[in-house]
Amino acid sequence: MEHRSLREHVRDVADFPTEGVVFRDITPLLGDAAAFAEAVDGLVEQFSGVDVDRVVGVESRGFIFGAAVAYRIGAGFVPVRKPGKLPWAVVREEYQLEYGSDKLEIHRDAIHPGERILIVDDVLATGGTASATATLVETLGGVIAGLGFLLEIEPLAGRAQLGDRPVRSLLQFS
């Protein structure tokens, strides 16, 4: 089910962060208490009945939604960050973005073998960030219970990068 009322709280910003990219700005949604609650509740509903031990939130807007979802479902929260931000031993994964490349890291002890993990982020675009995060989780022995996104930019075909893992998004942009 798409949460169409959330769409009015997403602002398009042309040529950000580089020329030719249309950035979907969710700060208006975050600033509206009812819209933010609907987004968090919607993500929780998408995975109702799915066993989850930990929620992984991807830097940086994934922290906002991931932490709220983890709290709501009674699961632990794990941050996945850009290099140099975590203070202990990490596992690193490099990936491609719509407009370049980047790296992500997770603490080596953040996930234990067999734990069921829900990955949460704000946007599914090309799938590079989500795929890299899933690889980090699986490298540590975690089992992907699902990937949840506030919005998905369908023409960029990010789902194709995620294989047969369960993927849910609240809004689809074409």
Kindly report the CATH number assigned to the domain that includes residue 138. Answer: 3.40.50.2020
From the list 7, 59, 61, 159, the catalytic residue is 61
Asked whether residue 4 is domain-assigned, the answer is: no
Cα-based torsion angle of the residue sequence 70, 71, 76, 78 in order, rounded to the nearest 10 degrees: 60
Asked whether residue 147 is domain-assigned, the answer is: yes
From the list 93, 98, 115, 152, the catalytic residue is 98
The number of domains in the chain is 1
Asked whether residue 44 is domain-assigned, the answer is: no
Asked whether residue 131 is domain-assigned, the answer is: yes
The reply to whether 168 belongs to the active site is no
Direct distance between the N- and C-terminal alpha carbons of the chain, in angstroms, rounded to an integer: 16
Asked whether residue 101 is domain-assigned, the answer is: yes
DSSP state of 154: G
Asked whether residue 98 is domain-assigned, the answer is: yes
Asked whether residue 14 is domain-assigned, the answer is: no
Range of the domain at 149: 49-173
**pLDDT value at residue 18:** 86
Tokens of 15: 């040529």
Encode the chain (174 residues) as per-residue pLDDT tens digits: 568 799 999 999 999 988 988 899 999 999 999 999 999 999 999 999 999 999 999 999 999 999 999 999 999 999 999 999 999 999 999 987 766 789 999 999 999 999 999 999 999 998 999 999 999 999 999 999 999 999 999 999 999 999 999 999 999 998
